[in-house]
């Protein structure tokens, strides 16, 4: 602090290596994608002291990239996916096979979520939830990627989730998701109050809007991965302590850094336990 600067400085919570002081709580990464190879993901979870991870299927695999050109190819697939243009049949079938294989091989580590297509009729979506999510023993639906300003497309999914005792539904929150999309999601959540609706990545650049909407909507949850401003994470946990969840978005994020971020802005105790795993464990009935 410069001489004469009397601005109060808020003390940071000391950061320590991950202690094993949560004997009664699971540490759960609430947002991750299938890695190739899967054992590299398990190594990251072990390094971060994470017991289990919510696992989504994926078409892009940035962890496969070895240079700029190959990363660009993978990221072009990602941009198609998050832009709502992810319905290539071959790619989707491959992603489902990878997800099935990872969850079957490591049921003690992975909590699979199944994705459904949004370009179907409500009746077809209901059938797909029955077949591809419930029928495969998955714990929830996601990560859904409606096109920008098209978040209303998820309503039939919420209806199907409500019909299955309120399956959690995870929706992509970072760009190209817009602030209007977040408002649409909150409005839909109010129509289906038994469905936990998780906005991932803390709403991206619209994190302040996401926090405000979550405060107003009791069944909207915030997953904290890829948050780029530390006080956004602190504010989300402060304002919505019962509905914020640690996540890494691996392989795009890192479980070690994501957990360290949460522990940087919280103190040991019930609140930290909730964010690091208890909340998502309750949603999934663990």
pLDDT in tens, 134-148: 999 999 999 999 999
Contact 133, 161 (CB under 8 A): no
Structure-model confidence comparison of residues 157 and 83, the more confident one = 157
Q: What tokens were used for 47?
A: 């390094």
The stretch 68-84 carries a mean pLDDT of 75
Helix 255-264 and helix 38-48: axis angle, to 10°?
Answer: 20
What Rg, from alpha-carbon coordinates, does the chain have? 18
Q: Which residues contact 282 (CB under 8 A, 6 or more apart)?
A: none
8-13 contacts, C-beta under 8 A, 24 or more apart: 12/264, 13/263, 13/264, 13/265, 13/266, 13/267
- Compute φ and ψ for 30, nearest 5 degrees: -85, 5
pLDDT tens digits, residue range 12-34? 444 444 554 455 789 999 999 99
Average pLDDT of span 73-92: 66
**CA 195, CA 186: separation in Å to the nearest integer?**
12
Lowest mean pLDDT among 2-6, 163-167, 175-179: 2-6
| Closest C-alpha among 5, 146, 116, 108 to residue 56 | 116
Helices (H), 169-278: 179-191, 207-216, 230-239, 255-264, 270-273
What pLDDT shows up at residue 66? Answer: 87
Cα–Cα nearest to 230, from 12, 55, 50: 12
In this prediction, residue 65 carries a pLDDT of 83
Backbone angles phi, psi at 199, to 5 degrees: -90, 115
Give the total residue count for the chain: 286
Per-residue pLDDT at 58: 85
| Spatial CA neighbour of 247 closest among 160, 173, 164, 163 | 173
- Among residues 238, 249, 176, 174, which one has the least CA distance to residue 212? 238
- pTM of the entire predicted model: 0.87
Q: How far apart are CA 31 and CA 201, in angstroms?
A: 9
Of the candidates 200, 185, 121, 133, the one whose C-alpha atom is nearest the C-alpha of residue 163 is 133
Model confidence band, residue 90 (pLDDT cutoffs 50, 70, 90):
low
């Amino acid at each position: 602090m410069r001489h004469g600067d009397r601005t109060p400085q808020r003390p940071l919570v000391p950061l320590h290596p991950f202690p094993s002081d949560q004997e009664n709580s699971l540490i759960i990464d609430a947002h991750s994608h299938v890695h190739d190879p899967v054992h590299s993901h398990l190594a990251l979870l072990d390094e971060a002291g994470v017991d289990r991870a919510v696992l989504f299927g994926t078409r892009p695999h940035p962890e496969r990239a070895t240079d700029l050109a190959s990363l660009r190819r993978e990221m072009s697939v990602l941009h198609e996916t998050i832009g709502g243009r992810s319905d290539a049949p071959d790619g989707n079938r491959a992603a489902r096979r990878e997800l099935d294989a990872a969850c079957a091989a490591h049921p003690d580590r992975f909590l699979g979520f199944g994705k459904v297509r949004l370009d179907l009729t409500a009746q077809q979506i209901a059938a797909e939830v029955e077949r591809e999510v419930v029928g495969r023993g998955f714990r929830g639906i996601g990560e859904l990627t409606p096109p920008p300003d098209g978040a209303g497309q998820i309503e039939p999914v919420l209806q199907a989730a409500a019909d299955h005792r309120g399956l959690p539904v995870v929706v992509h929150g970072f760009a190209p998701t817009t602030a209007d999309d977040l408002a649409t999601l909150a409005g839909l959540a109010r129509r289906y109050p038994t469905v936990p609706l998780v906005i991932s990545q803390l709403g991206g650049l619209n994190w302040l809007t996401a926090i405000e909407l979550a405060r107003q909507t009791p069944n909207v949850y915030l997953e904290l991965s890829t948050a780029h401003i530390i006080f956004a994470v602190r504010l989300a946990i402060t304002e919505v302590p019962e509905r914020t969840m640690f996540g890494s978005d691996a392989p795009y994020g890192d479980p070690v850094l994501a957990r360290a971020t949460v522990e940087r802005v919280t103190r040991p105790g019930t609140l930290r336990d909730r964010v690091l795993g208890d909340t998502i464990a309750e949603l999934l009935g663990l």
